[in-house]
Chain A
Amino acid sequence: MMTSVNERVALIVLALVTALAVVFAPWAAINRETGARSAVVLLPERYVDFTGRTQPVELPQQGAVFVLTIMGLAAVVAGGALPVKARRLAWLAGGLVLVVGTAWGMQRLTGSVAAAKFDAFLGEVRGAIERPRPAYDVDKLEALLAASSERDLTAGLAEADAAGLVIRRLPYTNAGVGLSAFLAVVTGAFALLFGARIFRGFGQVLDRLLRAASVPATAILLALLAAAVVILALQATPVGAGAQVGGAFDGLVGRLDTLWYAYYSMFHDSLGTVNGFAESLKFATPLIFTGLAVAFGFQAGLFNIGAPGQMVMGAIFAMLAGIYVPGPRLVVLPVAVLSAALGGGLWGALPGWLKARFGANEVINTILLNFVAASVLLFILSAGNVFAAAAVRIFVAIGVFLVLVIAALLVPTVRRASKRAPRAAFAVGAVVLLAGCVVAGLPRAGDQPITVNMPFKVPGNEPKSRPLNVGARLPQLPAVLGVTRGGVNVVRIDYAAVLALLGAVVAAFRVGRLGRLKGWTARLVGALLVGGALYGLGALVGIAGVNTAIPPTKLNLSFLIALLMAVFVHVFLFKTRWGYELRAVGLSPRAAEYGGARIGRNTIMAMAISGALAGLTATHYVLGGALEDYALRQSIPTSDGFDGIAVALLGANQPAFIVASAFLFGVLKYGGSVLNITFPDLTRDVVSMILALVVLFIAAKGFLPERLTNPLKWSVRQEPPTGGADDGVASAATSAAKTGAGASAAGVGASLREGAGEG
């Protein structure tokens, strides 16, 4: 079968690459200083020191780890040549050896590094005792030294601090896995995964998983590989003064370690620390909104590139509500959130209307509206806008004209006439408007220029609004969890409850029937059962109440609004009549119209809802205070609107996947800022490049051959259908084709053709 050949080739290549990495790439770093200078070890016991001042540490059992790794890799490679059953066994065994061996070796190594670090700490203490300064409490330090065997590093540092000895820098910090160890674990994991086909039923699950993940995973992988070129080109290997490195081998090790550490720092903080995780969620929140907005358009066959402009309009409306609506929070907050949606929705409905009424292409119009919105934002937030009196008269004339047009359209005869000859009516209107503007704009005696300052702008030149009323502010996460302002607090968090809630929601969606129960009763009972079971399990494992240090973060309740919107979009698109009509129009406008759908109304509605979703980013940036404070600022990062395209494509326009891909991009974005700090020559633009490449590669279906991305179509074209050969594969493929980006992308193409062609 095709897949087994692919798997064998892929796994063997991966194993060979890993074998090369074991020879040439660092296994682990034992010290990483600021400026990304590092000291690394390679298996079995080789040191390369780029810091120039790191003493080697003892490396227990790394020889054994080396032998285990080579054996595991050999088993994986050899397995590729064996018949099916033996191959799977060999892969299971090899994978197990690789994963367990690496984990064990890494544990020994980190233990040894920690011991060395503690020794270095004791050395500092001894040094302080020998050369005391007035600030030191020598007795305390000596007591610390005497009791050192009972202390760990954190306690020791705190005690030394109390004794007046502040130790800023210790060697052996930021030790961690290297490239070859990572690759060994990855190879092992894939060998285990493919080897597990030996269990019945698992193969089908795996096939579905691989088919669904192949394009997005390949796209991300290719984008990361392309970024590798940029990283290597921009960042020379950081080498400290006095480092004894040179030669081709050291150079290669340095390059590989720079590359690896760049990726490591991009992902490690986000996925490995509470602070980084919260920051990633913070970055993900607006991306969920904009991703949903773009996906909503895609599902209706529209390409909404206008999310940046809709974000701005939502932000302006939210700010207005937040400043001018008085009252208690229970009233103000919903009003403010709704006005964010309203602002974005109106700005999105405009190009929808232009398309429905005049056939103007929404792609171009939404882009142009982005520029207009940016100007509007700049206008209302800048000081001293000077209008000449004539210009003001022109604006008044335009206003009068609009009122007159609306009044004229209320007269039935005029309306009918204008409907019969829309273009003539348009031309007449335009000429009247132009003439009116010229008359109004002629200079008159005694004209005085008028300076306009928006009442909600802060005085001075800073482009921001006044702060919002307290009632319109969405609380930030630490405040919700009971942390007072500033500082790190430790809070008991019930992770089991979160888990149970998630499980209950999933169960409510997935459960169709339960024994004799059907419909909503079954869903409710299923949700309760699953939720209860998960909570019990969580309590058993001990995550029902965990003391967690909450760092200061600007992650706020808009994250929950974003999740709620994902649920809303899912329900709207897939569970309601309107959503069905919308998707029908998206897939095939003509067929849908024949079936009774009203294209124009659907276009406007889809663009309005899409715009409203984009406008809701204001709950994050304005109401949630995710920028510096609770105010509208000109620096609102509208590029999130463009990133939403990448999120929607990666998430195949499915709300649940969009949340996941928004989180991935949140991780990458936060990783970008970590990269900025960690490396002297890398900037966060590397990440925006990665996002753009993800879009390109997903559009190209990961450059994968068609037999992988669209096996059904491929097989039809290659040979006449054999009938019932592999029903599972066929149905999975059709459903993938239905839901994937491909289907909606075709709809977009259709919409552009219409917009450009017919009008």
Chain B
Amino acid sequence: MDTVILLALASSMLRATTPLLFAALGGLFSERSGVVNIALEGIILFGAMAAAVTTQLVEAPYLRADPTARVWFAPWLGLLAAMVLGALVAGVHALVSIRYKADQIISGTAINLMGLGIPAVVLAGLYHNTSISDPIRSRLPELSLFGIPGLSFNVLVYVAFLLVPVVWFVVFRTPFGLRLRSVGEHPEAADSLGISVTRMRYTGVMLSGVLAGLGGAYLSIGNLNQFISEMSGGRGFIALAALIFGKWHPLGVLGATLLFGAFQATEVLLGGGKLLPPTVVQSLPYVLTMLVLAGFVGRSVAPKAIGKAWNK
């Protein structure tokens, strides 16, 4: 194979990895604190919608004055909106599963269902259709990697990969990280040392919302230029699988998401090459994720208190 194809494959792998990495690192915060976050999928959708809608609304008045204008700050505000809405939606999940001790999976499923229904309502109110938002003009900047032609990525791609060491440092080398992990492993012990279990769990879940929201923003205003309903396409669940496969560790998560990203990148390779019908290619990442999950799940050990409501 020549270098062009290899480069294309590598860059599409990195692009496919980015949203998975954001969501999986987010899920790491939540699950390390002891709260299963199956709501990642829904939060990605909310983040994607918030980013696209905010950017569109911010740039709209400038575009009316000059249709070719680039409003540099609009996508950054969109990014902020995605993080805020992600945190809020995750906050709902946290409230229901921590304060009201709901089953965390059911609560997360409810958020995922809302991720299907609520964007449609918002789009209907703003754009008078239920499936796509108006396209935006001002996108986040692209940065070239080492000045190599053809290797240029959205700034969020770099952010995602830089987050890996940051998350590692925060979780394993700071007092905050120690507390977070202790709350997920043995909340009674943490509580007896004066750590507020509920506050740590709220923080963990809402951080996961911020990161998953970023993942959503990458999908809508980084990779594309609009929000499309159900554009997350199961990435939240694949991120969860990556979290299990990566043993709840940032480096493991990086490896797992790169693998799953590679699965999704084969889509690009096979789809373009007329090798297989697109419908078959689309289902490959899901099948491969299942196989990996079945083959390797037994080796990873979850945080001990995961999924359990905390009763003081």
Contact = CB atoms under 8 A, between A and B. Distances in A.
Interface of A: 230, 233-234, 303, 305, 354, 357-361, 363-365, 367-372, 375-376, 378-379, 382, 385-388, 390-391, 423, 426, 430, 449, 452, 639, 642, 645-646, 649, 681-683, 685-686, 688-689, 691-693, 695-696, 698-701, 703, 745-746, 748-750, 752-753, 755-759
A391 B275 contact: yes
Contacts of B276: 387-388, 391
Smallest CB-CB A-B distances: 4 pairs: A759-B298, A375-B283, A692-B113, A745-B103
Nearest to A452: B277
Contacts of A748: 103, 105-106
A756 B295 CA distance: 13
A372 B294 contact: no
A371 B286 contact: yes
B279 A749 contact: no
A691 B302 CA distance: 32
A371 B237 CA distance: 11
9 contacts: A354-B294, A372-B287, A683-B130, A685-B130, A696-B110, A745-B106, A748-B103, A753-B307, A756-B306
B36 A358 contact: no
A363 B130 contact: no
A359 B109 CA distance: 21
B290 A365 contact: yes
Interface string B229-255: 000011001101100100000000000
Given A358-B293, A686-B121, 7 more contacts: A361-B244, A368-B238, A372-B287, A692-B118, A696-B107, A700-B102, A757-B301
Given A372-B287, A696-B92, A683 B120 contact: yes
Contact of B124 (A371, A685, A698, A700): A685
Contacts of B36: 752, 756
A386 B277 contact: yes
Interface in B276-311: 276-277, 279-280, 282-283, 286-287, 289-290, 293-295, 297-302, 304, 306-308
Given A364-B241, A371-B233, A642-B113, A752 B106 contact: no
Given A354-B294, A368-B237, A749-B105, A689 B100 contact: no
Contacts, number: 195
B130 A361 contact: no
Interface in B93-125: 95-97, 100, 102-107, 109-111, 113-114, 116-118, 120-121, 124-125
Contacts of B283: 371-372, 375-376
Contact of B307 (A367, A369, A691, A752): A752
B274 interface: yes
Contacts of A452: 277
A interface SS class: helix
B256 interface: no
Decide if the interface of chain B is mainly helix, strand, loop or mixed.
helix
A692 B116 contact: yes
B280 to A, nearest CB: 6
A699 B113 contact: no
B50 interface: no
A363 B105 CA distance: 9
Contact of B113 (A379, A695, A703, A749): A695
B259 to A, nearest CB: 14
Given A360-B297, A364-B240, A759-B299, A372 B277 contact: no
B289 to A, nearest CB: 6
B110 A699 contact: yes
B109 A645 contact: yes
A387 B277 contact: yes
B80 interface: no
Contacts of A375: 279-280, 282-283, 286
Contacts of A379: 277, 279-280
Contact of B125 (A234, A371, A756): A234
B279 A699 contact: no
Contact of A688 (B95, B107, B117): B117
Contact of A305 (B107, B109, B282): B109
Contacts of A359: 297-298
A689 B114 contact: yes
Given A379-B277, A449-B274, A749 B104 contact: yes
B275 to A, nearest CB: 4
Contact of A703 (B100, B277, B295, B297): B100
B307 A693 contact: no
B106 A699 contact: yes
Contact of B290 (A369, A701, A752, A757): A369
B207 interface: no
Interface in B105-157: 105-107, 109-111, 113-114, 116-118, 120-121, 124-125, 130
Nearest to B123: A685
Contact of A683 (B121, B233, B240, B277): B121
A452 B280 CA distance: 12
Contacts of A358: 293-295, 297-298
Contact of B279 (A234, A368, A385, A689): A385
A54 to B, nearest CB: 29
Nearest to B41: A367
A692 B117 contact: yes
A369 B289 CA distance: 10
B85 to A, nearest CB: 16
Contacts of B301: 757
A699 B96 contact: yes
Given A234-B121, A371-B283, A430 B295 contact: yes
Contact of B302 (A234, A378, A386, A753): A753
